[in-house]
Amino acid sequence: MKRSTTIPVPSSSALAHDIAATAAETELSQADVIRQSLKLGMPALRARLGKRPRRRLSLVDHFKRLKGLELPPYLD
């Protein structure tokens, strides 16, 4: 039977606030933020996964980018 042990790690209140803010911004759990921040760093994690406006292409523009696909003239 596998057992896990939780080890509390003391931290500053500023770090705890940063972890909570990053978790809210990236929609990850605080545990995931801690794990990923050890690998990437918290600023890089926010830059990669943070909420930012994403520019979405229309369906017609998406199909225009595909190579070898001819669209009907009324879609031009």
Q: Rounded to an integer, what distance in angstroms lies between the CA atom of residue 32 and that of residue 13?
A: 19
pLDDT, one tens digit per residue, over 53-67 is: 666 778 778 777 787
**Quick check: 52 pLDDT over 70?**
no
Q: Is 3 domain-assigned?
A: no
Mean of pLDDT values over 11-37: 90
Q: How many domains does the chain have?
A: 1
Q: Is 4 domain-assigned?
A: no
pLDDT at 54: 62
DSSP 11-74: --HHHHHHHHHHHHHHT--HHHHHHHHHHH-HHHHHHHHS-----PPPHHHHHHHSTT-PPPGG
Mean of pLDDT values over 46-58: 75
Mean of pLDDT values over 34-63: 81
Q: Is 5 domain-assigned?
A: no
Radius of gyration of the chain measured on its C-alpha atoms: 21
